[in-house]
A and B are shown apart, each in its own frame.
Chain A
């Protein structure tokens, strides 16, 4: 005979459909998104990993100041590498304010994936990066003017060595708005001339290294050989090339974050289920006592009470996964396509995603519910019959005599519902962490952008290929080089500046010993005055030690500042290789200028993060509010239901609905207000830690900033949500009939 108690399952589901539907929908959306994300992530990551072979992606590239002669190329070939010419030119676009890095069609190395349209067929056609096109609202058929020549866009492409559009490998973030890559015909490429031509060479090892350590050793050896034979302008092995590697690394870290997020949410839902089930057990105490007295075992009752949470979880997992594989996969893939210039991908069945979004949530739900429900069912049949749920007989009650009756009553309600309120607190805390994350990022990026703009050294900052004089009014020479940090966390590139003692552009009060470091550098590595930092040459082994003499407010980059004399003594260089200027320098040939740094270059990080993730921040906010509303709804409902009998009784005594609301809902309001205030502080601590961990992987640093208005906005938003939800509870209280108390006596 089947257990007749099981007949109750569907009926309980029907009776409490609102509660179960809310939890079900929340779980479906959460699991669906995570499943869709994991499927898209895995499929795209597989296609990304396969692209290294499919598109013959380089093992690295180097750039020289001039064309490599045949003798050099022959000597390099002896190192078991194949060298490919991979020249490019960089030109400003007329129609949109951006720079395009243009390559010839290369069929041997770093091949191109045509996403739509076709590759250029003649000298007036161009194929541009798909994401750059999207961000600048360019379409096939539009025209682009480069160096006064009109090009018609014939295709949208993904360049396999530019899945993330980094214009400079040392940049903290790629820039798919003001920087793009493009392909022209060979003839059109040659027509650009040599003024902006970059002598870049890609290489591939004849025998591919098996792991990154071996690749690093090969790369180091190759760099030594290259260094001994020519002057290198740029050297970027594949494993350090952000334009290639950033996408894969980001996809990997996203996956870990999203899975943790899923499990936290499932654990919260499991607690909600367990608290609601325990509440059902309390309300059915007499029946349970009778069943236990009649010979039902705890195991049989546990099996019954655990059924509904598990059924809802299993169905949510199945529906969520179906949605994930169908609709949401494309939504999630779209998020990646919105950030990265990836080639096309084929959807792959992902058994890991299935396990992570089905088996593990099920196990979490099972374990948490088994622990909490069996703990409740541990009580003896007699205790159930007597409705006595205390494990220990308390001899003392809290001395609340001095408080007014209403306050005492509310406090008793809080003490009676501690498990529900604890779950509510955890839920509010987690929702606030999400909400804070979603709300703080936009102001943080805006603040960073305005800080960078306000603290720009000069309107134009030139980096020269070789020292050159200028007569431009106000131009001030400076020295600059890039060194590599040797901190345990990461090996950021640090810009080292040498400036005049009485500089018109850099306002530093120089100290006798040591160097000044930018505040971002100090913040990221927790460096303070008196600390010693060790840096090494970017392409050499020489190390430099500097003592930190102070912190200089320069948010744009991780940098070290020293005076001219100190720089000359340290690096043995005596002519400035750059200029600060508020006017455009016109008397230096473009070919002698390596880079011109403008406001757009310095603010690319905040701009790109806003483009890639701006919409996601709003989604996170919406998700947090829904989570918050759901928890408030479910847990305050439990509290009202638990006290249905008492509510009915006080109604009989003559209390009005308004007074009953004050008794029962105000207690919840207190808890919500206190939990929100406490969780605002705790969320700040958690967000600070998450933010540090998140940015540790980035090269560079954005100083944490959160305006105090965010706390107020968060508090107001949570309170509004709470009051909207509590209206449903007021209606619930209003609906409790007066005969409820009498009916239960007779039951």
Chain B
């Protein structure tokens, strides 16, 4: 298994205010798969994503990627790990306002020794003709495409998407999901999508349902529905 999670626990607060967000999570993901973490708000899925992304730490348990346990990593090693293996896409696009589309993607490319061809990537993402525009001149969908471009230009092993369509309308959301699907098939990255949109589970290889810090259900889709055909 490429990504392995074992008995992961995480809680916030102290004393009476202590809340267990992850109550012993175990699962694993194969390389190149799309995995959807599905569940209502507060179920612990985003916390799990942040732990996998190395920007939050568990109270106990192990996260290992390709055999390397993250708990053994110190601050610098974690930064290097994120730099080499991970790409992040958030609900809010977090683009740099005074850099244009191409430059925002270059910000991601800078982190890799062998980044993807930026022009080619922008064409794949459908933002090539907008490459000299600043983020405030783009629509929400175009901004999210740029954010995805910034995340995958370094060709990360894992692309972490936290509610990537949360701020988008139906059509744009479908476009973005299709894009993620295309990226997966073209570059072979493992993709983990956190969402509360039930329909998205159909495009995944693997689905993990969360509730109150537990895995309620975990299964693999025998047949995936293409993102373009998803409906909600």
Q: Which residue numbers of A lie inside 8 Å of B, CB to CB?
A: 1, 3-5, 7-8, 11-12, 15, 284, 286-287, 289-298, 380-382, 385, 746-747
Contact = CB atoms under 8 A, between A and B. Distances in A.
Given A12-B98, A15-B98, A292 B80 contact: no
B111 A296 contact: yes
A595 to B, nearest CB: 75
Counting chain A CB atoms within 10 Å of each CB, the highest count among B80, B94, B98 belongs to B94
Contacts of B110: 1, 3-5
A8 B111 contact: no
23 contacts: A4-B107, A4-B109, A7-B103, A8-B98, A11-B99, A286-B92, A286-B94, A289-B55, A290-B90, A291-B107, A292-B55, A294-B86, A295-B79, A295-B80, A295-B82, A295-B86, A295-B154, A296-B79, A296-B111, A297-B83, A298-B79, A746-B167, A747-B135
Contacts of B108: 294
Nearest to A284: B96
Contacts of B106: 1, 4
A3 B96 CA distance: 14
A7 B109 CA distance: 14
A297 B88 contact: no
B79 A385 contact: no
Interface string B88-104: 10101111111100010
Contacts of A12: 98
A5 to B, nearest CB: 6
Nearest to A289: B94
A196 to B, nearest CB: 79
A293 B103 contact: no
Interface residues of B, number: 36
B109 A747 contact: no
Interface string B140-179: 1000000000110010000000000001000000000000
A9 to B, nearest CB: 10
Given A294-B87, A295-B84, A296-B111, A747 B98 contact: no
A290 B55 contact: no
B50 interface: yes
Top 3 nearest A-B pairs (CB, nearest first) are A295-B83, A4-B106, A290-B94
Contacts of B56: 380, 382
A130 to B, nearest CB: 58
Contacts of A3: 110
B94 A381 contact: no
Nearest to A5: B107
Contacts of B87: 294
Contacts, number: 86
Interface in B36-95: 50, 53, 55-56, 76, 79-84, 86-88, 90, 92-95
A289 B162 CA distance: 13
Contact of A382 (B55, B84, B150): B55
Interface string B17-52: 000000000000000000000000000000000100
Given A289-B94, A294-B83, A747-B93, A4 B88 contact: no
Contacts of B80: 295
A4 B167 contact: no
Contacts of B96: 5, 8, 284, 287
B219 to A, nearest CB: 29
A382 B50 CA distance: 8
Contacts of A292: 55, 79, 82
Contact of A294 (B92, B99, B135, B150): B150
Given A286-B90, A385-B55, A747-B94, 19 more contacts: A1-B106, A1-B109, A1-B110, A290-B88, A290-B90, A292-B79, A293-B82, A294-B108, A294-B151, A295-B79, A295-B82, A295-B83, A295-B84, A296-B111, A297-B79, A385-B90, A746-B167, A747-B92, A747-B93
Nearest to A744: B92
A550 to B, nearest CB: 70
Contacts of B97: 747
A4 B95 contact: no
A297 B81 CA distance: 11
B165 to A, nearest CB: 14
Contacts of B82: 292-295
A597 to B, nearest CB: 73
B94 A287 contact: yes
B79 A746 contact: no
Counting chain B CB atoms within 10 Å of each CB, the highest count among A11, A380, A747 belongs to A747
A747 B147 CA distance: 11
Nearest to A747: B92
Nearest to B50: A382
Contacts of A11: 98-99
A15 B84 CA distance: 33
Contacts of B151: 294
B203 to A, nearest CB: 24
Contacts of A294: 82-83, 86-88, 108, 111, 150-151, 154
A747 B134 CA distance: 12
A289 B87 CA distance: 13
A13 to B, nearest CB: 10
A381 B135 CA distance: 22
A380 B88 contact: no
A219 B48 CA distance: 87
A297 B110 CA distance: 12
Contacts of A7: 99, 103
Nearest to A285: B94
Contacts of A8: 96, 98-99
A295 B110 CA distance: 10
Nearest to B87: A294
Counting chain B CB atoms within 10 Å of each CB, the highest count among A3, A11, A286, A293 belongs to A293
Counting chain B CB atoms within 10 Å of each CB, the highest count among A5, A15, A286, A381 belongs to A381
Interface string B102-122: 010011111100000000000
A12 B76 CA distance: 29
Counting chain B CB atoms within 10 Å of each CB, the highest count among A284, A290, A292 belongs to A290
Nearest to A8: B98
B27 to A, nearest CB: 22
A216 B80 CA distance: 69
A381 B98 contact: no
A2 to B, nearest CB: 8
A293 B107 CA distance: 13
A291 to B, nearest CB: 7
A298 B75 CA distance: 10
A289 B96 CA distance: 12
Contacts of A4: 99, 103, 106-107, 109-110
A380 B95 CA distance: 19
Contacts of B86: 293-295
Nearest to B85: A295
Nearest to A283: B97
A205 to B, nearest CB: 69
B224 to A, nearest CB: 28
A413 B55 CA distance: 30
Given A8-B98, A294-B151, A382-B50, A746 B88 contact: no
A715 to B, nearest CB: 42
B53 A293 contact: yes
Nearest to B47: A382
A462 to B, nearest CB: 80
B191 to A, nearest CB: 15
A293 B150 CA distance: 12
A297 B84 CA distance: 12
Contacts of A1: 106, 109-110
A277 to B, nearest CB: 15
Nearest to B98: A11
Contacts of A287: 94-96
Nearest to A11: B98
Contacts of A295: 79-84, 86, 111, 154
Contacts of A382: 50, 55-56
Contacts of B53: 293
A3 B99 CA distance: 12
Nearest to A7: B103
